[in-house]
Amino acid sequence: MIASVLPTKRDEGWRYADLTALEPVWNDVADVTEIVAVPAGETLDRQIVIPPATLGVSVTDLNVTIGKGGTFNLHLLNAAAHYGRMHVRVTLEEGAHFEMGGAILGKGEETLEIVTETIHAAPNATSNQIVRTVLSGRATGTFMGKVHVARDAQKTDAAQSVKAMLLDRTATANAKPELEIFADDVKCAHGATVGELDKQALFYMASRGLDPATAQRLMLQAFIADSFINVADNTARETIENKALEILEALS
Amino acid sequence: MLKIENLHATIGDTEILKGLSLEINAGEVHAIMGPNGAGKSTLAYVLGGRDGYEVTEGSATFNGQDILDMDPHERAALGLFLGFQYPVEIPGVSNLQFLRESLNSQRKSRDEEPLSGGEFIKLAKEKAALLKMDMDMLKRAVNVGFSGGEKKRNEMVQMGILNPELAILDETDSGLDIDALRTVGSGINAIMRDEKKAVLLITHYQRLLDEVQPDYVHVLAKGRIVKTGGPELALQLEEQGYEAVAA
């Protein structure tokens, strides 16, 4: 949801945003919300791979409704912007499914974020969100995911898995899963970790003759693999994976 | 092949190796035995080039080249292999991909052509069969979900594929049952018993030495080699213990 007034850090959904970068382009991006409606019983796949930026700022905003028994598969690659924001608000009707896989790959002074609001409005809906973040330099990568389960949305099953890898100690990762549950028979799982490359594994790989750059590439490739594993279309999956690998190469 | 002279090494402020000297020639198998804390694993890690160990004095050369200033992957490319006491798990990276990239990385630094996918699979199948390891395990992530014995077997498959000149095997026998010990022992013999190769076995027990007959046995205590002998020294240690033999 984008307000017409420039947001401030006090607006919860914008607390980690780069508002200084946002201000000059605010009039261009304040109104970009795209409405997506997945009809009942249907499946829609969507990949958003590094959307274009204005003055280094890229803002994506989706407002999605998934009809009864429908499925929305969303895959996001957030990278290569001075400030890149992806905001997704999803409302699930009865028995609907929302699948999201995202990667945030930041370097230098970049501020990149994926912010989701998942609203389980009716019973038996499921959602699964996987976000992998790799950061170098002084980059900031943020995932904020709010899951709201309405009073009669019984048998909701909502999962969030958020993992971040810092290649430099000067980078910052924020992970903020949030649950708001008003029904009593639901399953909501969330896990968040922030870590560094396993030094033991790097030495093990080097001892077999792998040069450090290749060893790091293999480990990061494995680390972000979960983000795009569920892209159904092979060509689409390869496109987003290859782009991500290209970005990863440039991080270190 | 490997020449270590008066090697001193520290971790933090603690000196672990205190003037260790050892020479290994092509065609030889050496065993290093010694009590816990003697510095056996430290020796392996210092030779492998692990971070956190500082060499304060002495030298180590491999075929005349000073290896102590080299990065671990450069030492591997020269033909040095380190078998880990605790092989590391690498989630998400398949054994086959890992080994193919490792081998080709080594070949590249030796100005050799990379192996094609087909050539590599053939080589991997051959070495897995030698160690009685299922090819399916080679397709899985490196050491993830492997039992202790399977990890050690995997180390030997890796050694077979990489085909080093010198293998330093740090307690490769620990965690193995009797049958696996025999398989691993015959794997070491098949891969490394060659007039152009050499092995340094670091072990606590005589059992592995029944399978892989050493030419020399050294006792490492308090950071130095305090006694050297033939295979009979290992038997004497097994009977009398380190204190009696090394005193």
Residue appearing with tokens 């392996």: B44
* CB spacing of A209 vs B162 below 8 angstroms: yes
Q: How confident is the model at residue A90 (pLDDT cuts 50, 70, 90)?
A: very high
Q: How confident is the model at residue B246 (pLDDT cuts 50, 70, 90)?
A: confident
Contacts of B66 (CB under 8 A, 6+ apart): B59, B60
Mean pLDDT of A87-93: 98
Q: How confident is the model at residue B245 (pLDDT cuts 50, 70, 90)?
A: confident
Residue numbers in A near B98 (CB within 8 A): 205, 208, 210, 218
Q: How confident is the model at residue A3 (pLDDT cuts 50, 70, 90)?
A: low
Give A195's DSSP letter: E
Question: Measured between CA atoms, how close is B160 to chain A, in angstroms?
Answer: 12
Task: Report the complex ipTM.
Answer: 0.95
Two tokens at A187?
A: 């399953």
Domain spanning B2-246: CATH superfamily: P-loop containing nucleotide triphosphate hydrolases (3.40.50.300)
For chain A, the structural domain boundaries read 12-196
Two tokens at A203?
A: 């030495």
Q: What is the pLDDT of residues B27-79, one digit of tens each?
A: 999 999 998 889 999 999 999 999 999 999 999 999 999 999 999 999 999 99
Percent of the residues in chain B that have a pLDDT greater than 90, as a whole number: 86
Out of A199, A201, A225, name the one closest to residue B90 (CB): A201
Is residue A20 helix, strand or coil? Answer: helix
* pLDDT for res B247: 64
DSSP A50-101: S---BTTEEEEEEEEEE-TT-EEEEEEEEES-SEEEEEEEEEE-TT-EEEEE
In terms of CA atoms, which chain B residue is nearest residue A197?
B90
Predicted TM-score of the model (pTM): 0.89
Residue numbers in B near A205 (CB within 8 A): 90, 98, 102
For chain B, the structural domain boundaries read 2-246
Q: Does B96 contact chain A (CB < 8 Å)?
A: no
Question: Measured between CA atoms, how close is B100 to chain A, in angstroms?
Answer: 10
